[in-house]
Structure 1
Amino acid sequence: MDRNALLAGGAVGVVVIAVVAAVVVPGVLADPTDEGPVRPGPVDVADVSIAAGPATGETATLEIATRIDHGGNPTQNVSVLVRAIDAESGLLTTTKQIDVGTITRDGETVTTTNLTVPREGGYDVEVVLYRDAERVDETRKSVRGVSAIKPPHLQSTTSFTESEALPPVSFSIAGTDEDQTTLDLSGTLMNTGDEPADDLSVTFVLRQAESNIVAARTTADAGTVRAGRTETVSTTASVPNDYNYYIDAVLLRDGVVIDTARGAANLNPTRTISVNQTTEDVELRVEDFENGGGDSPTYDSGEEPTQTESSAPGFGAVVALVALVATGLVARRWSQ
């Protein structure tokens, strides 16, 4: 056989085997354009914002939006862990994991989640970004005054005024008799909303300043306060004379307390009180009033009273002289 023909036949056989192998086993021939595994693009936390969501009497919802910055190749298996930590105790309150999946576009991707926490105190919100279960970035933000997030039944645009010219609580003397003073009580309300506020009432509670005893309680119907208007609610109450009182005003809507205010009434001319006055407990010494409050002597704690011996007046010297004479007579008799 011709040598050249043999070599040509061998070359054709090699080509045929290569073609068959490429068909039967895909990928057996390396792609000259293949550069190996694709490196995922970088991701990080660009920003975290927190908004107040729905609330109940006990809990509040924090709406947390996390902005993830991405660039380059697609990044798979991205997730975000969000947790709320009590700012005072440092204890973990709640946590939630969000699966973001694959991020392909350049720029920011926003993911949101809601955390429900007790409606009190403050919280530190931590946001941790993961890629393929590996932590790649994290950030923290603080939230304070969560109790200010009010549930619907506590939300109101109407409240007591906060002006010296229009004090929230005021009073005047309507009349007096031998034992009682009648007060005209007023509460000033302001509606800062765009809609009228109705089904309102104000309860006035008068408490004796030193003892905290409730001396009078009365409720006045506030009716409807128009949008952007200020209204005054008035009523009367009678209290004993010559005492000082705190006037607590409570604004209610359908039986729910939505605001409070305090005033002071000084009916004792020898002592006055103020709304912001600091009070302290005074110990009542019962022994000061025993035995009708007589002029019995008192002693400092830990000291004993001085005791003085005495005898009947006019007999001390006489008794001593008689004893001396008797002793002399007895001695003389024994000597005889």
Structure 2
Amino acid sequence: MRRESALAAGAVGVVVLAVVAAVLVPGALADPSEDRPVRPGPVTIADMEISAGDVTGDTVTLNVGTRLSHRGPPARNVSLRVQAVDTESGLVESTRTVSVGNLSEEREVAVPTNLTVEREGGYRIRAVVYRDGERIDSGARELRGLEALQPAYARSDVRFASADALPPVSFAVAEAGEDRTTLDMQVALTNEGDEQPSDLRVTVTLRQADSNIVANRTAVDVGSIRPGRTATVETRLTVPAGYNYYVDAVLWKDGVVIDSTRGAANLDPSETISVNETRRDVELEVGDFTRGDGQGGDRPRPEATGMPTAGGGPGFGVGVAVVAVVAAALFARRWTK
């Protein structure tokens, strides 16, 4: 009974001391989380989308949409810096900094930015997230082949025909004289789009193959070509006889070169020329999004195969092998004696 009384008295004493401490020391029993600073929630780059905006003859505006993901407690004073770095020189071509503000809800936020760069080569688009001036996350994406983007004034779906059975430029001899030859030229064009342009023209130039001197040229207006159809443009040119010529055909739209092609006209029976065409398709490529600094590891080195190399590397050559055979023969002869 005395033990229970002692425990009860002790409990009462603890309660009394707590009440006295609360009265004498305000805030002694307050929730410690109220005074302790709350750690801000993380903000990361979830994705980056890039599209082409205004395209001119020299520059292109890149529309960069960066998606930021916020989780946890509020994050204050968030900002985003986006840069375009030339992949060849490593120089920063354009920089934009956007203030995002405070992020309180757990969600993704799209932050649009615009970067204007030259319309050539490739760029590394790099994004860095800051919170109160402190860098907390980064990501990057690469672009290549920006020269494939055409300005609005140079866009046309009409091109020179590329079928094997239908060359873009062909000719026939209309009149053959001792000094002059008249050629009937035909240029094949294909409309690969859905519209029917009417402001096109073709220039045909004949250049003497050895001297590159222009022998004759003409310009022909292109009629209306329906979508998906192929049409031929005809013209007649007279040039000196007995020479070989390169035929250069250029497609124009309102003073802008849209497409070009080259053919050959062999009028010299003793020598012929051919057109060496090397076509390279250049397309706009967008690399995958990478987190952090985007730096990859070292490439694995190929393992040694033990096979001899074709260079002057270490090892026995042919001369050493011959000396070894002769020495072995002499040794065997001496041994037999």
Q: Which moved more, 1:52-61 or 1:103-112?
A: 103-112
- Report the Cα distance in structure 1 between the residues aligned to 2:201 and 2:181, rounded to whole angstroms: 24
Q: How does 1:75-90 map to 2 (within 5 A)?
A: 75-90=75-90
Q: Which runs of 4+ in 1 moved over 3 A?
A: 27-33
Within 1, Cα distance between the matches of 2:61 and 2:128? Answer: 19
SS at match of 2:64: strand
Matched residues in 2 for 1:261 and 1:157: separation? 16
In the superposition, relative to structure 1, how do residues 109 and 177 fare at CA in structure 2: closer, same or farther (>3 Å)?
same
- Distance (whole Å) between structure 1 residues aligned to residue 84 and residue 129 of structure 2: 15
Looking at structure 2, the residues matched to 98 and 28 of structure 1 have their Cα atoms a distance apart, in angstroms, of 44
Larger RCO (CA within 8 A; separation ≥ 6) = 2
Aligned partners of 1:143, 1:277: CA distance in 2, in Å? 28
- Residues 73-115 of structure 1 deviation map (CA, whole Å, 9 limit, x = unaligned): 1211221111112222222211111111122232422111111
What is the CA deviation profile of residues 37-74 of structure 1, one whole-angstrom value per residue up to 9, with x for unaligned ones? 22111121122222111111111111111121221112
Q: Distance in 2 between matches of 1:226 and 1:35?
A: 76
Find the counterpart in structure 1 of residue 166 from structure 2: 166
Secondary structure of 1:90's counterpart equals coil
1:299-314 maps to which residues of 2 (within 5 A)?
A: none
- SS of match in other structure, 2:36: coil
**Are 1:208 and 2:208 an aligned pair?**
yes
Decide whether aligned partners of structure 1 residues 196 and 28 sit closer, same or farther in structure 2, where only a CA change above 3 A counts. Answer: farther
Alignment-derived partner of residue 130 in structure 2: 130
Report the CA distance between 1:273 and its aligned residue.
1.8
What's the offset of the Cα at 1:33? 5.8
Deviation at 1:35, TM superposition (A): 6.1
Residue deviations 1:279-330, cap 9 Å, x none? xxxxxxxxxxxxxxxxxxxxxxxxxxxxxxxxxxxxxxxxxxxxxxxxxxxx
Pairing of 1:1-336 with structure 2 (within 5 A): 30-31=30-31, 34=34, 36-276=36-276
- Largest Rg, 1 or 2: 1
Structure 1 alignment gaps of length 5 or more: 1-13, 279-336
Cα shift at 1:186: 1.4
SS at match of 2:224: strand
| Alpha-carbon distance between aligned partners in 1 of 2:53 and 2:87, rounded to the nearest angstrom | 19
Work out whether residues 53 and 61 of structure 1, in 8 Å CA contact, stay in contact via their aligned partners in 2: yes
Q: Distance in 2 between matches of 1:225 and 1:105?
A: 57
- In 2, distance between residues paired with 1:271 and 1:90? 50
What's the CA shift for 1:29?
Answer: 8.7
Q: Supply the distance in 1 between the matched residues of 2:155 and 2:67 (Cα, whole angstroms).
A: 31
The sequence identity of aligned pairs, in percent, is: 53
1:31/1:246 CA distance change after superposition, 3 Å: same
